[in-house]
Structure 1
Amino acid sequence: MIGVRKYIKLPVPISVDSEVLVAEKSLGWLSLAEGVVFDCDGVLVDSRESYGRAVVESVRFIFNRLGIRDYSPLVDQGQVDDLKATGHFNNSVDIARILLLLGFLGLPEKEGRLLGEAIRAARSEGQDREPSRILESVASRVQLGGVEVRPPSVASVLSRMRVKEPGYVAFRRSLEETLRGLAIERGLGSDYSAYAEFIGETGSYGVGLAETVFSDIYYGPLVSEFKGSGPYFNLGGGLYTKETRSIREETLRRLSEIYGAEKLAVVTGRNRRLAMLTIGGLYKHFNDRASVFIADEIMGGAPPTIQKPSPYGIIKSASDMGVPTLIYVGDSAEDIAMAQNASEFGIRNTL
């Protein structure tokens, strides 16, 4: 539980909003810090109309194809916020996937069985597993007639979880077990399993339905350049085009003067190329060697456990800059947890 802090408002041009809130207890750190590390989304880039919308649009597209029309409780912002507050949902595709799984649990029992049967029938007849074709195959077998979805709240699901170990992997395992347990309680265990396989895993573009739809919505025609294939669905020009910069170049120039040209870095879950689409020319103000693009690290063979809230990014960046004390600029529960975790490894920082 993160305690309540006292903040003061500083009218400085850090961002386009022209003022920031700073925790009183952090003021002393500002004079001690030797470098600054920035998150990308929500800090350098405003991604509310890209990633945020892609979550909702992914749920809408899949459910509409299945004939589910009323799913407003599922995409309520409170549901999304409760997932983010756990500190284990830095990847927006993960959010979309969990909302889709919750959606199944919100179906009436009859419709849940019908959907499970349709998915199994499509699989048993050897239907092509390309996401667009398997979705159409399932949709042709079942139309749920405008059924209403009344999913359990994220808060109620989290309250049932029993996480036995700390960390991302243990949390996600417990969440998956809890969702499956809720389906079993309703007598829909096998149907839920079929549906979960149908939705697919995060990171399985071209195979998993949630990952594929989300990526096609976000990247649009550019998806093949990032994922190696696709698009499988024609879902517009890509919501990444809605992203805007959230920081002024003058701010970065000033910070470079204060800390030194090699003491600013980026730590983000994005890959480098995607980040550059929006950051663009601003990146010249950052130390490239000390910047960490988690998606590229994982693609290069690093384990998924280096994702936030793992302190990996901050530790690597601080080490490459040669600074033991830094300011980390983030905007999420994952960022808070990552900064706190980094302090346990001797990296003194303030968020």
Structure 2
Amino acid sequence: MNNQKFDSIIFDCDGVLVDITQSYDKTIDKTCRYILKEFAGIDSIIIDHKIIDGFKASGGFNDEVDLTYAAALSLYASNKLNKEPSEFIYEVISNADKTGIRSVQSYLESVCDISEFLSKLGSLDDRHNNPVYSVFDQLFFGPELYEKLFEKQSKFSEEGMISNDKVILSRSLLETLQKEFGKKLAVVTGRGIESIRYSLKDMLNYFDTKSSAFLEDEPRELAKPNPAALIRAIQSMESKNCLYVGDSMEDYMMAKDATQAGYSTTFCAIVGTSTNPKDRRNLFADSSVDLILESINDIPKVLNLV
């Protein structure tokens, strides 16, 4: 690829700048099992990477709390229907689409009465009072960071799963990219700014944070694959040819929609942080993604910067 083609690079965070398989993914499982035990008296199966990847492949579950909520609803329904949970959850996944929670809830309501459990879980639109969000945030951030972010005490004492984030990003990569793109480096991520700062530390300073979007801090309607936040970042940096680097179908859909809206955006898929890189690569290849890389560390070579 000609390095002159792009005048900016915008990154997703999770699965791109940071390997989250031992942090966010583990929090999904712990939260789901806690919610089912606490609100329905159900001992849950483990929410493993196959289930997580299955939901995410639908294009509607970039938000890990949404995925946790969907998994909990599915396993509640399987218990009520006396169906094998490890089989039924894939039946639900096969009926999920880019509308995310809405598609899962619609399918489950067609086969089972889940109203009692839904009333206990409440709406995800009310983050500060929703029990799924609350438990997830407490387990992910840990007592100290949770209290700092939400001004509430956590009911859990163990260290937050965020400490298991494995940072892939390096200063050497940032310096290489900065020589070519200057301050036209940004982030559009589902995380909040304090969460990403906790993991990236001062490396976040290499990015144009004013042009970036931290969707956890914004209204839910802006969540991926809605391209509004990406378009806003492109406009802020006055970019004419953007490279967006992500690892999910939501990222791909968002970049594609931005292009269709008139903002030239090429999607670069990162597959090396997936628990099954081959399947992730095939998923993107089947969608005709132009650029599929193992790691962000391959970007300079692909763009002829080294």
- TM-score, length-normalised on structure 2? 0.79
Residue correspondence of structure 1 range 146-225 to structure 2 within 5 A: 150=85, 153-157=88-92, 159-160=94-95, 168=99, 172-183=101-112, 189=113, 192-202=114-124, 204-205=126-127, 207-221=129-143, 222-225=145-148
Residue correspondence of structure 1 range 78-97 to structure 2 within 5 A: 78-97=50-69
The runs of 5 or more residues in structure 2 that have no matched partner are 268-306
User: 1:247 maps to which residue?
Assistant: 169
Once the two structures are TM-superposed, the CA of residue 151 in structure 1 deviates from its matched residue by 5.7
Once the two structures are TM-superposed, the CA of residue 223 in structure 1 deviates from its matched residue by 1.6
2:236 pairs with one of 320, 325, 334: 320
User: In 1, distance between residues paired with 2:195 and 2:123?
Assistant: 21
Equivalent residue of 2:210, what SS?
coil
Q: Does 1:31 align with 2:8?
A: no
User: In 2, distance between residues paired with 1:293 and 1:206?
Assistant: 17
Q: Which amino acid aligns with 1:226?
A: L
| Kept after mapping to 1: 8 A contact 2:29/2:48 | no
User: 1:8 maps to which residue?
Assistant: none
User: 2:186 maps to which residue?
Assistant: 265
| Kept after mapping to 2: 8 A contact 1:82/1:154 | no
Distance 1:154 1:337, change over 3 A: farther
Distance 1:108 1:290, change over 3 A: closer
Query: 1:74-115: per-residue Cα shift (whole Å, max 9, x none)?
Result: 6243222111011111110111111110111111558xxxxx
Q: Which amino acid aligns with 1:40?
A: C
1:42 pairs with one of 1, 8, 15: 15
Query: 1:270-324: per-residue Cα shift (whole Å, max 9, x none)?
Result: 11111110111111211122111122232xxxxx221110111221111111111
User: 1:281 maps to which residue?
Assistant: 202
2:42 pairs with one of 45, 57, 68: 68
Q: Which amino acid aligns with 1:321?
A: M
User: In 2, distance between residues paired with 1:160 and 1:287?
Assistant: 39
User: In 2, distance between residues paired with 1:157 and 1:63?
Assistant: 17
User: 2:262 maps to which residue?
Assistant: 346
Report the count of equivalent residues.
265
1:54 pairs with one of 11, 15, 27: 27
- Following TM superposition, the consecutive aligned residue runs of length 4 or more in structure 1 with deviations greater than 6 angstroms are none
User: In 2, distance between residues paired with 1:240 and 1:228?
Assistant: 18
Structure whose alpha-carbon radius of gyration is higher: 1
Once the two structures are TM-superposed, the CA of residue 225 in structure 1 deviates from its matched residue by 2.4
| Kept after mapping to 2: 8 A contact 1:270/1:293 | yes
2:225 pairs with one of 294, 306, 309: 309
Distance 1:176 1:249, change over 3 A: same
Q: Which amino acid aligns with 1:326?
A: C
User: In 1, distance between residues paired with 2:24 and 2:157?
Assistant: 14
User: In 1, distance between residues paired with 2:94 and 2:176?
Assistant: 46
Query: 1:144-188: per-residue Cα shift (whole Å, max 9, x none)?
Result: xxxx95265444335557x8xxx74xx5433312111110xxxxx
Once the two structures are TM-superposed, the CA of residue 230 in structure 1 deviates from its matched residue by 3.5
Query: 1:162-219: per-residue Cα shift (whole Å, max 9, x none)?
Result: x8xxx74xx5433312111110xxxxx2xx2111111233254564332222111111
Q: Which amino acid aligns with 1:281?
A: D
User: 2:301 maps to which residue?
Assistant: none
Equivalent residue of 1:89, what SS?
coil
Q: Which amino acid aligns with 2:189?
A: T
The percentage of counterpart residues that share the same residue type is: 27
